[in-house]
Amino acid sequence: MLRITVQKDESAITLKLEGKLARVWVNELEQAWLAANDRTSPVKVDLSGVTFVDEAGKRILGWVFEQGTTLHATDCMNRSIIEEIRQRHGGRAADRVSHRLLSKIITATIVICSLAMRVRKQEPAPPRLTIRETVQAVLKQNPEVLLANLDVGTRHQDSLEPRSALLPQAG
């Protein structure tokens, strides 16, 4: 026989077990756990009142432990069973936590990258210039080059004026 008492408080939902966790009573624990597990509050299973646990009971306790349930006991026998479950299923629970964490990190990275791409699309892309166009743009902005070009233009204009004096005058 197994008695299951559900206790809810602000911090957790506790399933307090009393009696034997064996055979048909394993299904009762599974149904009670599924009914109590609302995914918003942590679930705790208190084994302090359990007097016997068979292999099926250990399997269901391992399964609820893998789902994130905390197992608690005060007596030596049940603490030993909990330790055995932690050793047997602890790696899988830790893997699930690390997978959840990894999944959250990947999701956050995808969100940040997509936001960055949206911002980048809104900014106008810098113009692509050839080397020739870049050099011409730089030379146009350089004051020394501007003065030299002005000087060359003035000299060219000055050289054209004496030649025009050589042309016949209409008169």
pLDDT at 13 over 90: yes
Residue 121 inside a domain? The answer is no
Boundaries of domain holding 62: 2-95
Residue 122 inside a domain? The answer is no
> Rounded to an integer, what distance in angstroms lies between the CA atom of residue 86 and that of residue 62?
8
Q: Convert the pLDDT of each residue in 52-74 to its tens digit.
A: 999 999 999 999 998 889 999 99
Residue 141 inside a domain? The answer is no
- Mean pLDDT to the nearest integer, 93-105: 64
Residue 139 inside a domain? The answer is no
Residue 54 inside a domain? The answer is yes
Q: Where are the alpha helices (DSSP H) in 67-142?
A: 76-122, 131-141
Q: How many domains does the chain have?
A: 1
Question: What pTM was computed for the model?
Answer: 0.54
* 124 or 109, greater pLDDT: 109
pLDDT of residue 164: 62
> Rounded to an integer, what distance in angstroms lies between the CA atom of residue 46 and that of residue 67?
16
Q: Convert the pLDDT of each residue in 124-138 to its tens digit.
A: 667 788 888 887 787
Q: Provide the CATH number for the domain around residue 23.
A: 3.30.750.24
